[in-house]
Amino acid sequence: MSFQAYLDNAEKQTGITPRGFLDLAAAQNRTKHGEIITWLKTEHGLGHGHATAIARLITKGPEFVAAHHTGGVLHLDGLAARP
């Protein structure tokens, strides 16, 4: 499964876009990987793989993730906003 597919499936499960998770984490000052994994699993019902993908996005930043996992393109604004 591609990194983008993990993000898309997390959105389907929670109704929250990847950018939404970035905003929530920033608003709650969540910066530590393990803490973010626990938060995503307990409060948002994500499994370990999907929580890890979102946590990596939050801790490393979209530019890092896009450059290393998706060939430079990462869609963060949700499935409905996809071109």
Per residue in 18-35, is it b (16+ CB within 10 Å) or e — as a string?
bbebbebbeeeebeeeee
Mean pLDDT over residues 44-73, rounded? Answer: 89
**What is the value of pTM for the model shown?**
0.91
| pLDDT over 90 at 64, yes or no | no
Position 52 scores a pLDDT of: 97
